[in-house]
Amino acid sequence: MGAAERIISTQGSPQTRDDGVPHPADAVEVVVADPTEAGAANGATAVENGKGPRRIGVLLVVAVLAFLVDLGSKLLVVARLENHAAIKVVGDVVTFQVIRNSGAAFGMGQALTVVFTMIASAVIVVIWRIARRLYSLPWAIALGLLLGGALGNLTDRLFRAPGVFRGHVVDFISVQHFAVFNLADSAIVCGGILVVLLSFRGSNPDGTVHQQAEKTAK
C-alpha cells in the first residue's frame, strides 16, 4: 500500500448475524488517498525527473533582448555615424566609429565570411538542441546570450551588403590597442565566459552537477 493512502475501518469486532455470517456493514475498509501526501510524492518525483521547471522561456527572453539591443544599436550607428568622424566616449581609449567587418568577432578571418556564417548557423542549431533539456537558470542566461549574439551577427551576414551569406557585420565600439566590435560580439563573449565558469563548477544544462551525474550513472 502506498505512502499516500490511509485505511479507515470501524472499531470493535465484527458482529455476526444469526446465520453466523459477519455483517458487511460492521467491518468496512475504505482506502482514501491523502491529497497532501500524494501531492508531496508527485512533487518529489517531478524534482527528481525534471530538476524543476524547464528554462526555455528564460533562454528565449535573454536571446531576444540581446538580439534587439544589438540590432537597434547597429541601425542607430549606421544612420548617425557611418561616414562621419569617430565620437570619443572615453577620451581616445573608447570611441564609436562604424566599420564593416567581413570576418569573425573582432575582425578576425576576413577571408572566411561564408565559413563563419555556416558556423553561426550551426551554433544556433546546437543551442536549440540543448534547450530541450535545459533546467538550469544560469545555463539559460548563458545560452541566451550566445544565441542572441549569434543571431545578431548572422542577421548582418544574411541581409547586409555585399550579399546573402557574405554580408559584412557592423562593428562600432573601438577600444584603443584592441579591436572594433559590436554588442553581439559582447553578448557572445559574456555567454562564453559564463559557460566556461559553469562547466568549471561542474554544472550541467539539465540542472545536475558532474558528481551527481556520475553517482546516477553508477
pTM above the 0.85 mark?
no
The residues, any chain, with a CB within 8 Å of residue 60's CB and separated by 6 or more, are 144
Q: Which residues are catalytic?
A: 171, 185
- Interatomic CA distance for residues 186 and 34, integer angstroms: 53
Which three cell numbers, joined as nine digits, stand for 161?
Answer: 551588403
pLDDT of residue 108: 56
Three cell numbers, residue 78? 549606421
Query: pLDDT tens per residue, the chain (218 residues)?
Result: 544 445 444 454 455 455 555 555 454 444 444 544 444 444 434 344 446 788 999 999 999 999 999 999 999 999 999 999 999 999 999 999 999 987 655 555 555 677 777 888 899 999 999 998 999 999 999 999 999 999 999 999 899 988 888 889 999 999 998 888 999 999 999 999 999 999 999 999 999 987 655 555 55
Per-residue confidence (pLDDT) for residue 40, from 0 to 100:
42
pLDDT at 8: 47
- Check if the beta carbon of residue 193 is closer than 8 Å to that of residue 203: no
